């Protein structure tokens, strides 16, 4: 048997190639399908079947593109609502490639149609579990992406509990290959960056599997959900309809780009914030493309149905960024800025570059002590409650496009410094504010709010009404308590 895990590191998504006898099955293919085609060519494999473990809510599947490139049949769970599906799968169905069998196990929870695949070789013993978004390494999937209210989320969590109990009946040695790794928003906060595990290891160490009481599992799971991926319903709809998203990216000169920008297109500049500050196309949005989560950040701030232009370090980098954006459903990418900023300046004297400003933690601490600036804290509510600058303005960064008036009011009274935990969210936030005409804004560089402590700024904890009550941990299994750390701030 031939087996490969193929990752999209930006989204923390994992897909799989299982092959035997020259035939291959691809499970949960990512948007950029070149790697599967290249693997197939190199190893003499014909991709005959594509299986989706579920309708994805955080990324656009590469299944339609891979099917178009290979002629492979697309198989999904019966009732998944995927228009282009060739095969409907039910619990207990099997897909054979050569002497290898993939057996379907219905594992509802993350979504109602969710399935896992148990891979057995000629001996008949199961060796691999491709479990999509059910069991994850160190975590379990979130149950709230297919539902719209708390009660339905509880029901989904109950389904997930039962699905996981079923998977735990498998032998310890069966390898666990999940649909997501750390960095994904499809699992809880303890999701490990490790690519795989075993049923036995998870049985002994996964905090959520240690909870044997269904009600406790449901409460614990729903109390620790990370932020939702952006535009979940739209992504599900794209995956159901299989809308082809083009990636034929044209190289555009400065005049073409300017026309597009004047017509409302957004230029996404994926370079590092320090370089963006030294010079950029006016009005462009700076979302660093070398940090995981680039595409999700873009989809949070920019309408993926709107026209976009990308700019990376060079043409190859721009195409990489465009592919990452395609994976979250940017359907109207018009092209890349040819020759980057140099190409922009070549447009003529009216093609000026804009600059931006930043301060380091020591400077910001001086400004805070002097009451000479407002800190705009764009971290999540949890991060804010763990420690923030007294008097700072808190707008979680995903809410920023809808709360510009608050920032505008603060900036009218004096400079605003945008801060997060590490700078990854502050840079896009600051560029968004300038794009919206709020000029009196800069960002905190080389660190985040916590680094201000080293320069004498005291952080206060709790929200406007004091600290929120935390889940009661008494009575939980020791492993569960030990594993309650939330996702590290990005």
**Min separation Cβ 55 and Fe ion, Å:** 8
Between the CA atoms of 255, 344, 304 and 59, what dihedral angle is there, to the nearest 10 degrees? 140
What does the alpha-carbon distance between residue 375 and residue 450 come to, in Å, rounded to a whole number? 13
Helices (H), 354-421: 361-369, 381-386, 404-413
Residues lying near Fe ion in the complex (CB under 5 A) are found at 133, 186
**Min separation Cβ 28 and Fe ion, Å:** 9
Distances 73 to 52, 179, 456 between C-alpha atoms, Å: 11, 20, 62
- State which residue, 241 or 346, has the beta carbon closest to Fe ion: 241
- State which residue, 121 or 155, has the beta carbon closest to Fe ion: 155
Residue nearest to Fe ion (CB): 133
Query: Are the C-beta atoms of residues 303 and 296 closer than 8 Å to each other?
Result: no
CB atoms within 10 A of CB 48: 17
Q: Which residues of 381-418 are buried (b: 16+ CB within 10 A; e: fewer)?
A: ebbbbbbbbeebbbbbbbebeeebeebbebbeeeebbb
- State which residue, 17 or 57, has the beta carbon closest to Fe ion: 57
**Min separation Cβ 58 and Fe ion, Å:** 6
* CA atoms lying within 13 Å on the CB side of residue 448: 19
- State which residue, 27 or 341, has the beta carbon closest to Fe ion: 27
In three-state secondary structure terms, 472 is: coil
Greatest alpha-carbon span in the chain: 73
**Min separation Cβ 133 and Fe ion, Å:** 4
**Min separation Cβ 362 and Fe ion, Å:** 43
What does the alpha-carbon distance between residue 129 and residue 19 come to, in Å, rounded to a whole number? 15
- State which residue, 222 or 251, has the beta carbon closest to Fe ion: 222
- State which residue, 186 or 310, has the beta carbon closest to Fe ion: 186
**Min separation Cβ 144 and Fe ion, Å:** 11
**Quick one: residue 446, left, alpha or beta (phi over 0 = left, psi -120 to 50 = alpha)?**
left
Tokens 């996964």 locate to: 206
**Min separation Cβ 389 and Fe ion, Å:** 36
**Min separation Cβ 8 and Fe ion, Å:** 13
- State which residue, 133 or 317, has the beta carbon closest to Fe ion: 133
- State which residue, 195 or 456, has the beta carbon closest to Fe ion: 195
Between the CA atoms of 183, 189, 190 and 195, what dihedral angle is there, to the nearest 10 degrees? -20
């Amino acid at each position: 048997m031939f087996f490969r895990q193929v990752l999209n590191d930006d989204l923390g998504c994992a897909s799989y190639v299982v092959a035997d006898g020259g035939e291959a099955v691809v499970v949960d293919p990512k948007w950029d399908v070149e790697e599967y085609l290249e693997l197939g060519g190199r190893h003499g494999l014909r991709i005959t079947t594509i299986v989706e473990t579920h309708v994805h809510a955080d990324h656009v599947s590469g299944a339609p593109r891979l099917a178009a490139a290979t002629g492979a049949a697309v198989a999904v769970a019966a009732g998944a609502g995927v228009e282009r599906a060739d095969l409907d799968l039910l619990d207990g169905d099997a897909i054979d490639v050569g002497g290898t069998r993939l057996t379907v196990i219905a594992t509802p929870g993350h979504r109602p149609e969710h399935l896992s695949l148990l891979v057995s070789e000629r001996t008949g013993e199961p060796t691999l579990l491709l479990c999509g978004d059910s069991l994850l390494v160190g975590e379990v999937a979130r149950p709230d992406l297919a539902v719209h209210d708390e009660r339905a989320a509880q029901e989904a969590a109950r389904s997930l509990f039962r699905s996981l109990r079923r998977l735990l009946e498998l032998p310890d040695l069966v390898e666990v290959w999940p649909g997501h790794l750390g960095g994904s928003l499809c699992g809880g906060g303890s999701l490990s960056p490790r690519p795989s595990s075993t049923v036995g290891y998870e049985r002994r160490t996964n905090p959520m599997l240690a909870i044997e009481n269904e009600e406790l599992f449901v409460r614990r799971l729903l109390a620790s959900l990370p932020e939702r991926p952006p535009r979940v319903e739209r992504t599900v709809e794209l995956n159901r309809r299989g809308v082809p998203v083009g990636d034929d990216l044209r190289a555009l000169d400065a005049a073409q780009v300017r026309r597009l920008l004047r017509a409302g297109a957004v230029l996404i500049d994926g370079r590092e914030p320090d370089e963006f500050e030294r010079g950029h196309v006016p009005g462009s949005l700076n979302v660093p493309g070398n940090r995981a989560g680039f595409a999700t950040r873009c989809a949070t701030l920019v309408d993926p149905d709107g026209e976009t232009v990308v700019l990376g370090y060079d043409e190859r980098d721009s195409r990489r960024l465009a592919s990452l954006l395609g994976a979250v459903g940017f359907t109207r990418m018009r092209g890349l800025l040819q020759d980057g900023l140099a190409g922009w300046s070549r447009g003529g004297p009216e093609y000026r570059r804009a600059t931006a400003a930043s301060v380091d933690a020591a400077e910001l601490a001086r400004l805070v002590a002097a009451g000479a600036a407002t800190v705009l804290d764009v971290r999540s509510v949890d991060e804010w409650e763990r420690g923030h600058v007294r008097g700072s303005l808190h707008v979680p960064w995903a809410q920023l496009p809808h709360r510009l008036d608050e920032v505008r009011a603060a900036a009218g009274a004096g400079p605003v410094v945008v801060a997060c935990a590490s700078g990854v969210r502050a840079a896009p936030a600051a560029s968004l504010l300038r794009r919206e005409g709020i000029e009196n804004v800069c960002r905190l560089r080389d660190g985040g709010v916590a680094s201000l402590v080293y320069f004498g700024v005291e952080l206060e904890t709790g929200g406007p009404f004091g600290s929120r009550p935390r889940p009661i941990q008494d009575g939980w299994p020791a492993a569960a308590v030990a594993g309650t750390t939330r996702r590290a701030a990005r």
